[in-house]
Structure 1
């Protein structure tokens, strides 16, 4: 699930690898969600294509912001970028691995198991002195067939009426979680799972410690786990961290707080 910059550097010319620049940001004000194509146009890892996470891989007709795109839309995008079901996809961002993790999850949801995340993101790549350019590449179209895997996604009813032995993890920052969360959810902030200096995921030992500090014992997890956040994006950082620890196929509540928080019928808790 995670690849080091040295590995990617050694495989830059591999025709079966597609590098995806999916840089963006999330603001605390409206409009909240932004992509950063201007950064890509200025400089990117050689051979990388760009995906706008706010438009390209979401359903723009859905009333809930940034819910995953339809199989048809997702298939068309991947095919246009020269990505088949067998292509290794290495995604990178500069926002705590949120958007690269989201793309890796989206690929898994649609049956593609070759999605990887560049540890340390673009900033780490540049800091290490690795090559960048501004050439916009073009690739021959390939066929991608998106086949949904419902076991990797949950809706609001499935979250509200989950079994009592289900572990619900909220990946938002603590100050956001405190203002309102789904009752019973444990806050495992995505920021606690990476090194703030390098942008890389913590070691397995330190990941376990971060989960333990949040009240989650990795060595005695229940079989059922669901992750959520504001829009199903930072939750995938938690999913990635669990994957590093060998805990795979964790579903995401895609609507997350964007849906739940605005639904007056859904129960809510808060700390402040």
Structure 2
């Protein structure tokens, strides 16, 4: 699920690889969600295309913010970027692997298993002295066919009426989780899964320890797991971490707290 900067550097000229810059940020105040095309225009990994995570891969007609784009829109975007169902996509960001993980999950949801994440993101790439440029590449259109895999996504009812054996993981920061969460959810802060110095995911042992500190034994997980956060984005960092540990095909509650927190019918819990 993740690749190193050295791995990508050796394959910069590979025509079967499409590098995607999906840098952005999330603010604590409104408006919360931002993309960062200006950073891409300034400098990016050679050959990279840009995806605006707030518009390009979301359903702008959905009342819940940043829910995944419908298959027609997703297919058209990938096709326009010269991505087919056979192209290997390597995504990078500079926000704790949130947006690259989200794109990788979105690709898997649409039946595509060649979505990879650049470990350490763009900042680590630059720190290591790897090349950057500001050229805007053009690629020939290819055909991408998005086929939804509903087993990788959950809705509010599926979360509320989940079986008692289901493990529900909340990927938000502890201070956000404390203010309100879905009853029964365990907090696995996405920031606890990466190295703050390098931005890389922790080693397998480090990841296991982070989960263990939160009360989750990754060696004896239940069959059913669901991850969520505020908008189904940082939750995918947890999904990536589990994938690194060999625990794959974990579904995401796409609406997450953006939907749940505003629905008066849904039960809520707080830390006191």
Once residues 205 and 31 of structure 2 are traced to their aligned partners in structure 1, the CA distance between those partners, rounded to angstroms, is 38
1:143-182 counterparts in 2 under 5 A? 143-182=143-182
Q: CA deviation at 1:143?
A: 0.1
CA deviations on 1:141-180 (whole Å, 9 max, x unpaired) are 0000000000000000000000000000000000000000
Gaps of 5+ in 1: none
1:1-272 counterparts in 2 under 5 A? 1-272=1-272
Once residues 70 and 161 of structure 2 are traced to their aligned partners in structure 1, the CA distance between those partners, rounded to angstroms, is 25
Q: CA deviation at 1:74?
A: 0.0
Q: CA deviation at 1:133?
A: 0.2
Gaps of 5+ in 2: none
Q: CA deviation at 1:91?
A: 0.1
Once residues 214 and 145 of structure 1 are traced to their aligned partners in structure 2, the CA distance between those partners, rounded to angstroms, is 39
Once residues 151 and 202 of structure 2 are traced to their aligned partners in structure 1, the CA distance between those partners, rounded to angstroms, is 27
Residue 219 of structure 2 aligns to a residue in which SS? helix
Once residues 220 and 63 of structure 1 are traced to their aligned partners in structure 2, the CA distance between those partners, rounded to angstroms, is 37
Once residues 68 and 31 of structure 2 are traced to their aligned partners in structure 1, the CA distance between those partners, rounded to angstroms, is 18
Residue 249 of structure 1 aligns to a residue in which SS? coil
Q: TM-score, normalised by structure 2?
A: 1.00
The Cα RMSD (Å) is 0.3
Q: TM-score, normalised by structure 1?
A: 1.00
Once residues 88 and 175 of structure 1 are traced to their aligned partners in structure 2, the CA distance between those partners, rounded to angstroms, is 37
Residue 219 of structure 1 aligns to a residue in which SS? coil
Once residues 167 and 184 of structure 2 are traced to their aligned partners in structure 1, the CA distance between those partners, rounded to angstroms, is 8
Q: CA deviation at 1:65?
A: 0.1
Once residues 206 and 94 of structure 1 are traced to their aligned partners in structure 2, the CA distance between those partners, rounded to angstroms, is 21
Structure 1 moving runs of 4+ over 2 Å? none
Equivalent pairs counted in the alignment come to: 272
Once residues 40 and 119 of structure 1 are traced to their aligned partners in structure 2, the CA distance between those partners, rounded to angstroms, is 18
Q: CA deviation at 1:35?
A: 0.1
